[in-house]
Amino acid sequence: MTHRQIMFVIFGLMAGMFLSALDQTIVGTSMRTIADDLDGMALQAWVTTAYLIVSCISTPIYGKLSDIFGRRPLFLIAITIFLIGSLLAGMANSMYELAAFRAIQGLGAGGLMALPLTIMGDMLAPRERAKYQGYFLAVFGISSVIGPLIGGVLSGSESILGITGWRWVFLVNIPIGIVALVIVLRYLHIPHFARPVRIDWWGATTVILAAVPLLLVAEQGRVWGWNSPAAIACYAVGVLGIVGFILAERMMGDDALIPLTLFRSQTFSMATVLGVLVGFGMFGAMMTVPLYLQLVNGATPTQSGFLMLPMIGGLMISSIASGQIIARTGQYRIFPTIGTAFMSAGFLTLTFLNADRPVWFTMIGMLLIGLGLGQLMQTLTIASQNSVGQRDMGVATSASTFFRQIGGTLGTAVLFSVLFTRIPDTLRAAFSDPVALASVRAAASDPTVQADPANATILGMLSNPASVGGALDGDTSFLSTSDPRLTHPFLVGFNDATITVFWVSLAVVLVAFVLSFFLKAPPLRETSAMQEAANEDAAHQAQLAADRMGALIEPGTGTREIELPAVPAAR
């Protein structure tokens, strides 16, 4: 492909990626407002987890189907499903409805996450890919910067065109998605070399059976009880699903949803493990930090979007720098180690937070995490793609994305579970502190404080101390309007609970740091998967022509003119 052709295709991919990347960032800073309006702060994990579960399960299915039917039709289907989910999410009237509609969005997002990377792997050799990844980084960076800001502005507005402000967080996807559809229909035209394969129905069924129960119990275990009958049932079904999935993939061989032969490559296996661990830490940070900034630092949704800029800036800087180094040298072995080291340093910094720390201290930790993530995201994908042949490019890329999404889903579910499990204990501990308790009682006895209706929620809790533990499960807007002397113990309690989350994230990323030393990095190929496929197809057609020629030559009579059938063009 010429540079011009490549740029037209990349333009279409950028449109689809922008749709997915914007949605991930725009919802994060809006979640507190949405949860307050729908009175479901403790249910927000359902909204996030439903989206991530469905998106990560559908990712390998998109990859496999795109190998069979071509990338373009699957990409168009993914955009369309995503837009339907966005429209429904904008009309949700409860957190449960919103979770269900976010699941539909996730069904489309699975394709928007995996297929652009797969198409890039088709068109460009691994080393050459670094020259073009700056365009994708620009899309991701722009969406990461403006997403939190747009989310904050929309969710911070009471009403826009007669519709509640936060609903536009989802409805804004509609015009963007229509533009993406037009661009993809116009420009995304790449050849597809069809080959006979079997569809792995059993693999698709068993991967759902394996992933959903385990991810579900990770999020709901704190509510059900980790040893409850519901939790035990999820463990049992999940284990049976894993066993069934492995058996199904062994039976399907190369036609499997995720061929087990991929894991014979030590590079692919280690890159996959690192992707799971990095996804755990990445999603944990991106979901927890905005909530912390709003509850503890008192930032509005818009302000929390601005305050996330150090993480986004660090990610863009390190991504561009590592991409240029890979393009020029072909070396990428060092980046997973340096990246996990930066992430570890960032989470370690965040463990020293307290309710009175200035916000710039939090921003230092975010910058370090961003610098680490930028060196990991593309590097691990390139390593996975470089470790397999062109035949497995789609499944390898989607499998890599799938396992990273599994890590992210587990990270979100586990870390939110840890957070809301710890909050009742840390709130009681904060109110048990003699100094804090004396300050609260002094404020509560102030006639001015008693006369202000904004303080009524907290004063009611003080008269019923048993309700303090669940104070942050529902509407938390009272923290922004009440007297600071009354809200301070709540901020301390939430801070202490969040510190536990950062310690868990640190432990996971440190494991990834140690494992990064065992990642083997074979030289990057200089031929694209699409060129390899074309070469193989041409060689196959030439062999068929030679076989036909040999069959038409009569022994002892020499050759005679024959008309060979036309070689079918790639679709």
Q: Is 428 buried (19+), middle (13-18) or exposed (0-12) by CB count in 10 A? A: middle
Question: Quick check: 370 and 315 in contact, CB under 8 A?
Answer: yes
Given a contact cutoff of 8 angstroms between Cβ atoms, the answer to whether 251 and 383 are in contact is no
Residue 352's pLDDT is 92
Would you state the pLDDT for residue 468? 65
Q: Residue 481 has what pLDDT? A: 73
Low-confidence spans in the chain with pLDDT less than 50: 562, 564, 567, 570-571
If we measure between CA atoms, which residue out of 16, 27, 60 comes closest to residue 406? 60
Rounded distance between C-alpha atoms, residue 367 and residue 240, angstroms: 42
Q: Percent helix, strand and coil across the chain, each rounded to 5?
A: 80, 0, 20
Q: In this predicted structure, what is the pLDDT of residue 473?
A: 61
Q: What element of type H or E holds 532?
A: helix 529-552
Q: Please report, for residues 31, 34, 155, 471, 472, the alpha-carbon distance to residue 42 in angstroms, rounded to integers and kept in the order given.
A: 11, 12, 19, 10, 8
pTM for this model (two decimals): 0.75
* pLDDT value for 571: 43
